[in-house]
Structure 1
Amino acid sequence: MNTFPYWRLSSFYLCYFSLLGATAPFLALYFDYLGFPPARIGELVAIPMLMRCIAPNLWGWLGDRTGERLRIVRFGAICTFLSLALLFVDQSYAWLALVMALHAFFWHAVLPQFEVITLAHLKERTANYSRVRVWGSVGFVLAVVGLGKAFELAGMGIYPWTLLIIVAGIVVSSFWVPSASPVVREQRIDVEGFFGQLRRPAVLCFFASVALMQLSHGPYYTFLSIHLQTLGYTRSVIGLLWALGVLSEIVLFLFMASIISRFDVRQVLVASFLLAALRWLLLGILADHLAVLLLAQLFHAATFGAFHAAAVHFVQGAFGHREQGQGQALYAALAGTGGALGALYSGYTWSTLGAGWTFAIASLAALGAAGIICVPSTRRNPI
């Protein structure tokens, strides 16, 4: 790991996913603190996810066309900072919706392009991706634990300031990372073009399963913190529970290279989908039992860690070097589509059907993802 800029890449992931650690558990709590009802909270949380349907593809095309991926990363980080600064202007629903859309347009420009840069630095050692990406999980843990305690002591009023501090770290770290271009690989798929590669059954089924898997995460990212707060858990404990899930993800990342070498990507994905289906049922029905809640959070190692590492590995192998940015962007975009739909439906069902049924729908979506990835026609084009 000493022949490429390991710590520079890792520091960016640490800062980038610290922002996710500030938003995933606490964004809905902040909107709840401002007095918005569940339906409006679901809509506001869905807006950044919907922006993932547009922004990554636009920026991915631009990155592939110009090759200036690092400049896109830096530009996106700076504009994300400026966009989130608008939180201090107003706190009306319309203004917050605008801020959510604007900052997400630039924030989602960043990661897909940075993934291509990281893989380019790794060259043929893509199995070591998880050892770099694990620092993103470390950043997430530091954010959820530290901010959970900070919000308990100082209240949610400091939330916008914490976002700006973290994004400033993303900006600084982006200027520390050296650029790199994807390795040109002489492969048949390289000359098919992006849409030619996309039409293959295995690729289509993969992306459909990605959308469903992210849809199933909608209630988790939108209402888990509110759900646990309603059940009597403090903000510090909620932060620790989020951290537990990501700590399990960190442990998995350390062994992911070995897992990928022993099992094919399809098997890893199916296991992730099935464990996600079980996890959502446990969270919806038995979250008031701490032991069950702890077990469900440990499943995060599979439902995010193994899933994401396998997905990035698949996209890197499925697309030629000229389409890497578009492939990673499409993965991010479909994840955003599914996540947005999940946030929207959970916002509307939370106050009408309750937590149990909302998470049950998520469980069915994860089962659907497992079914799609096992479609027999994809076996002629193994993942």
Structure 2
Amino acid sequence: MQASATIPRTRLSGFYLFYFAFLGALVPYWSLYLQSFGFGPELIGVLMGMLHATRIIAPSLWGWLADRSGRRMRIVRLGSLAAWLVFALIFWADRALYIALVTLAFSFFWNAILPQFEVVTLRYLGEDKHDYSRIRVWGSIGFIASVSATGYLMELVHIRMLPWVLLALLVLIWLNTLVVHQRQERVAESEVQAGQAFLPLLRRPQVLAFFAVCFLIQFGHGPYYSFFSPMLEQLDYTRGVIGMLWSLGVLAEVVLFIYMRRVLQRWSLRHIMLVSLWLSVLRWVVTALLPAYILPLVLAQLLHAASFGSLHIAGIALVQHYFPTYAQGRGQALFSSLGFGAGGLLGSVVAGLIWQQGGGLPAFLVSALACLVAIVLTSVWIYPEKVQQNSA
């Protein structure tokens, strides 16, 4: 096991802090920003989906380059620099087409950096993968601080000021990448030749089922990421309360990450996934049926620890299990592409179409249905050994 003194925990944690602080300012409030232009639910769903669209291609492309070159941090730095430079064009975008183009362009770079930074972090941790949650928890802390502060700030200033907050956070992400260095990766010829065997790894039924489950999980989050805030505003919740509800969900995630090491030592990944998926079904059903009542909504938000937190940790562990070292960059990229990318894009677009016709009730019930399908796939195909115990 690698000595903990050689792991730059503060610098690694700083990246997650700023990266997810950006998400905390973007995801809950970007739909409100788009709404300020007079766009309807269908168009907002498509524009929110643009944030996910480039995740289908960008992580896999950059993951392939990183696996071939081994220069992951150079790719991360380039991507984070290009992301804030391109995003600055949003100040001149006041039509749907221009907003869509800027969103696609900046997210092509922004969506490429996290999967490769995840690999850098895991390489530093070596065999002690349990410590991942202790570093990743700073992302949740950043999200909470950002979503709360941005919510109250948007009550004091016009929502059109939101891009300034986002631009500042993108610059902080880039600055943090400048002080993180990766462990030396030697790309041996044998690994390059072995890399040609990536498709056989991908075609295994359990791997295909795993990525299908990742897709369905993020598809189910589509209505939440795109329309949860507008729904609450229509129900007369203030933006400060909306921010508090978003923060509450991620606070539950923080608590989970603190104790995740014990959870991983006690339970199998299969068990964690099945329990989390059933709790996800409960979350979306409660959100669909009782959004006007604060106590059930608080309960639903606390279940974010399951619907995102534990499922994300289990997904990271399964990528490490299913893909050998030479293919982990591409495996991690596919985890992002098929889940957050394809799943998030289709989830947002479908949510917009359903919301236009029937509102939040049918949209969130479709989310619950997606999780039920994921439960079936997990029950049939996801049978890993307790890999988190094997790597302890």
Of 141, 144, 149, the match for 1:141? 144
- Equivalent of residue 328 in structure 2, options 324, 328, 332: 324
Q: Distance in 2 between matches of 1:193 and 1:34?
A: 49
1:222 and 1:314 map into 2 onto residues whose CA distance is 28
Aligned with residue 339 of structure 1, among 330, 338, 344: 344
Deviates more, 1:9-18 or 1:81-90: 81-90
| 2:371 alignment counterpart | 366
CA positional deviation for 1:353? 1.4
Q: 1:117 aligns with which of 116, 120, 133?
A: 120
| Residue identity opposite 2:246 in structure 1 | W
Q: Secondary structure of 1:26's match?
A: helix
Contact 1:117 1:181 in 2 (8 A): no
- Equivalent residue for 1:73, pick from 71, 76, 86: 76
**What secondary structure sits across from 1:176 in the alignment?**
coil
- Pick closer, same or farther for the CA change 1:182–1:365 going to 2, 3 Å: farther
- The answer to whether the 8 A contact 1:46-1:344 is kept is yes
Pair 1:28 & 2:31 matched: yes
Q: Structure 1 residue 102: deviation in Å? A: 0.5
Structure-2 change in CA distance of 1:191 and 1:25 (3 Å)? closer
Q: Which amino acid aligns with 1:150?
A: L
Distance 1:151 1:128 in 2: 36
Residues of 1 paired with 2:7 and 2:237: CA distance? 43
Contact 1:11 1:135 in 2 (8 A): yes
Q: CA deviation at 1:176?
A: 1.1
Residue in 1 aligned with 2:390?
Answer: none
Q: Distance in 1 between matches of 2:176 and 2:277?
A: 34
Contact 1:117 1:182 in 2 (8 A): no
Please report the TM-score for the alignment, with normalisation by the length of structure 2.
Answer: 0.93
1:259-278 alignment, distance < 5 Å: 259-278=263-282
Deviation digits for residues 326-379 of structure 1 (CA, Å, limit 9, x no counterpart): 00000000111011111001101112112101110110001111111111x554
Structure 2 Cα separation of the partners of residues 191 and 37 of structure 1: 46
More divergent stretch after superposition (165-174 vs 199-208): 199-208
Name which of 264, 267, 288 aligns with 1:284: 288
1:42 is matched with which residue? 45
C-alpha separation between the residues in 2 aligned to 1:246 and 1:378?
A: 27
Instruction: Give the structure 2 partner of residue 169 of structure 1.
Output: 172
Amino acid at match of 1:294: V
Q: Note if contact 2:220-2:371 (Cα within 8 Å) is conserved in structure 1.
A: yes
AA aligned opposite 1:108: N
Structure 2 spans left out of the alignment, 5+ residues: 388-392
For residues 80 and 63 of structure 2, the distance between their equivalents in structure 1, rounded to whole angstroms, comes to: 15
Alignment of 1:124-273 (within 5 A): 124-181=127-184, 193-273=197-277
Deviations 1:95-132 (A, max 9, x none): 00001100110001100000000000000101110000
Q: Structure 1 residues 191, 103: closer, same or farther in 2, change over 3 A?
A: closer
Q: Percent identity?
A: 43
Contact kept? 2:195, 2:326, Cα under 8 Å: no
Alignment partners' CA distance in 2, 1:183 and 1:139:
33
User: TM-score of the superposition, structure 1-length normalised?
Assistant: 0.96
| Counterpart in the other structure of 1:305 | 309
Question: What secondary structure does 1:152 align onto?
Answer: helix
Distance 1:217 1:318 in 2: 25
Q: Which amino acid aligns with 2:59?
A: P
- The CA deviation at 1:381 is 7.9
In angstroms, what is the RMSD of aligned CA positions?
1.9
**In the TM superposition, what is the alpha-carbon distance from 1:382 to its structure 2 partner?**
8.1
Match of 1:57 among 50, 55, 60: 60
The 8 Å contact of residues 280 and 362 in structure 1, kept in 2 or not, is answered as yes
Give me the whole-angstrom Cα distance separating, in 1, the residues matched to 2:71 and 2:383: 37
Hey, what does 1:356 align to over in structure 2?
361
Distance 1:224 1:262 in 2: 34
How many Å separate the matches in 1 of 2:384 and 2:217? Answer: 23
Shift of 1:220: 0.4
Listed one character per residue, the Cα deviations across residues 47-92 of structure 1 (whole Å, up to 9, x for unaligned) are 1211110110000001001111000000000111011101111211
Report the CA distance shift for 1:265/1:381 in structure 2 as closer, same or farther (over 3 A): closer
Contact residue 79 and residue 106 of structure 1 kept, 8 A? yes
Cα distance in 1 for partners of 2:259, 2:79 equals 32
Contact 1:52 1:333 in 2 (8 A): yes
CA 1:266–1:78: 2 relative to 1, 3 Å: same
Question: Which residue is equivalent to 1:102?
Answer: 105
Alpha-carbon distance in structure 1 between the residues aligned to 2:44 and 2:195: 45
Name the CA distance, whole Å, in 2 between partners of 1:196 and 1:59: 20
Structure 1 gap segments, 5+ residues each? none
